[in-house]
Amino acid sequence: MTAHVSVRDEGFLLTALLSKQRTAFLSDGPPSAAARRADLLKLKQALVKHRTAFEAAVSRDFGYRSAYETRIMEVSPVIQTINYLRRNLTKWMRPERRRVAIHFHPGRNRVVYQPLGVIGIISPWNYPISLALTPLATAIAAGNRAILKPSELTPRTSELLKSVLSELFPAEQVAVVTGGPEIGAAFSRLPFDHLLFTGSTNVGRSVMKEAAENLVPVTLELGGKSPVLIGTDADIEAAATSVAFGKLANAGQTCIAPDYVLVPEKDAAAFVASFDAIARKFYPQGAADRNYTSIVNAKHHDRMLKLIDDAKRKGAKVIEVVAGAGEAAHKLAPVLVLNVTDDMTIMQQEIFGPALPVMTYRNFDDAIGYINRKPRPLALYYFGQNSEDRQKVLTHTTSGNVTVNDTLMHYVQNDIPFGGIGMSGMGAYHGHEGFKSLSHAKGVFEQSKWNLGWLLHPPFNRMTDLVIRYFQRW
């Protein structure tokens, strides 16, 4: 008979685990560059070794997802990230020399990057491998210990992560805890040295509120309604191809998926026709196609149907792009939603599924104004060749990241930061910025034996006045 473990008991266990990691961190001190590189290599090799098991676990958790999609969207980006971290780690760990004002010469300034300690990571269900292991790899690169809380909505993948990581690392270095929302809330209340959360805006609010009790700094990777703005001179077929890929990968269950499209009125029919043709080319069997992913569960499938039905009732025209219901119970055929209005729920919530609202505009500045009236998105996509229009989009809109003439691709650029702003999140954990986010930049000033600091010591006199006047003039 298995004894019931209460949430309170789980809270004690979590606290003990955090204490264990922090004690080990303080005892062992910061790991060397060689040790970090070795740990990153172990992580990479384990992912490669267990790749097929991860692919199978994700597919079962979703009801169905193509192994190719998991390799392309999850496994490959993590491997590339680890390679990038290992390649740059030694350079990033070097102290940075900083300028010293002439009146403080011959003192020396430098910034030393040291590990924060223990990092908490809460990862979501939509990309349960990459959104768990990418921040973990970044935490390891920065020399930290880490505790990972993966999503309960992908239980097989979460258990596999727990099994694989427990074989690679001792619990005092890397640990995985599983459980539902109650465990997630208890996890968020722990006094980590930094907490990194990827997920919805609503849950992000709760995580930030819980973390604030212990003044834990947070990185929040959230989401929002990422717009696509198609310029007046865009190649419509090329734009439709990129949008179809970005929207239908993982059946739209991507935090940076194109959420809605703004297209010139004159090009709307061409865009719809091109999107339809490209979607049929990508998925000839429609929702039944072996390369097309299921909606993760019945709750999210029903949510998508309600969004579409609400739009229909309020006057939208819904076009089912490719028909067919797959063997998996929660597959949903892609749809285009035309004639949308802001009172429709589909234009108020992040869609997170294979429905794409298409809006038209006559004036380019009006399209930019529409984007700016909405909460700042995690991603923005612009298609067009006119350099002035492109620059206007880049300077007059604010979003987490931008991809020009494509979709999603900014996420896999390892040398630029990735993160939201406003309602789409805060902080970043890709690129050099990720290393810095999970490190403490400690400023160090070294005073020389011979210095002028004694001129400011009491007792104060006329010489003190001269020195102060000199400093103020300087």
List the catalytic residues: 221, 255
Strands 118-122 and 145-149: parallel
Beta strands in 427-465 (DSSP E): 439-446
Q: Which amino acid is at 110?
A: R
CA distance 411 to 409: 5
Cβ–Cβ < 8 Å for 133, 77: no
Both tokens of 208, joined, read 């930030």
Cβ–Cβ < 8 Å for 383, 377: no
The torsion angles phi and psi of 88, rounded to 5 degrees, stand at -105, -5
Cβ–Cβ < 8 Å for 130, 103: no
Which residues, at least 6 apart from 250, have a Cβ–Cβ distance to it below 8 Å?
65, 69, 73, 126, 127, 257, 293
Largest CA distance in the chain: 90
Q: Which amino acid is at 340?
A: V
CA distances from 353 to 3, 6, 334 (A): 39, 35, 8
CA distance 64 to 251: 11
Which residue from 275, 381, 404 is spatially nearest to 334, judged by alpha carbons?
275
Strand order through the sheet with 439-446: 96-98, 108-115, 439-446
